[in-house]
Amino acid sequence: TNSNTDPPSTHTTTTKLPPGVVLGKDGKPCRSCSSKASFTAWAQQAKSSLRSSAGSATGFTAAAMAAAASTSSSSAQPSANDCPADVETLGRSTWTLLHSIAATYPKAPSPAEQSDLKTFMGLFSKLYPCWVCAEDFQAYMAKEKIRVGSRDDFGLWLCQAHNAVNTKLGKDTFDCSKWEERWRTGWKD
């Protein structure tokens, strides 16, 4: 890993994380598991801790300064929006990719295409950068076997999987009879 951009490798027990910051399995704040607001609050906290204590007493390493600086809206940044993905940006982009794969999946896929999609989704569920999301999605896939027999099978399975996440997050569910309109044909006038 690059110590210039990684979040701090150590925390003292006296450093309280802002609400909503999810730790990675390595014990560091996980950006792709946390909202932008939470992660930015943590970065600002880390930065002010460093300023007030010159770094050592807080337990944050020099890497914290670099990580915190990298999330600030300093004018040295090319754009305040050019940041690593938080849990929502990552999620939105990922759902776009997955539903778009469903939209272009064949109506009558060959055995090889079905096998490719199953393999892709299995690996995807293991590699998804937000580990808490990934573990829940793996559990969902273990319970609700993926359906890859046709475009409609996969599109509906994916819509239901997305709805399970919506429900977990307290969001409205999507009407799955409209998944193709949303992701393939466009809305009817």
Binding interface with ligand FAD (CB under 6 A): 87-88, 91-92, 94-95, 99, 128, 132-133, 136-137, 159, 162-163, 165-166, 169, 174, 179, 182
CA 70/CA 78 separation, integer angstroms:
11
Q: Given the complex with ligand FAD, which of 76 and 187 has the nearer CB atom? A: 187
- 3-class secondary-structure state, position 70: helix
Q: Given the complex with ligand FAD, which of 123 and 169 has the nearer CB atom? A: 169
Rounded to the nearest whole angstrom, what is the least distance from the CB of residue 88 to ligand FAD in the complex? 4
Q: Given the complex with ligand FAD, which of 37 and 69 has the nearer CB atom? A: 37
Residue 37 burial (CB count, 10 A): 14
Rounded to the nearest whole angstrom, what is the least distance from the CB of residue 92 to ligand FAD in the complex? 4
Tokens of 116: 């490719």
Give how far Cα 32 sits from Cα of 44, 47, 57, 109, 182, Å: 17, 20, 28, 33, 26
User: In b/e form, how buried is each residue of 154-188, taking b as 16+ CB within 10 angstroms?
Assistant: bbbbbbbbbbbeeeeeeeeeeebeebbebbeeeee
Rounded to the nearest whole angstrom, what is the least distance from the CB of residue 182 to ligand FAD in the complex? 5
Q: Given the complex with ligand FAD, which of 136 and 153 has the nearer CB atom? A: 136
Rounded to the nearest whole angstrom, what is the least distance from the CB of residue 146 to ligand FAD in the complex? 13
Rounded to the nearest whole angstrom, what is the least distance from the CB of residue 151 to ligand FAD in the complex? 14
Q: Given the complex with ligand FAD, which of 48 and 167 has the nearer CB atom? A: 167
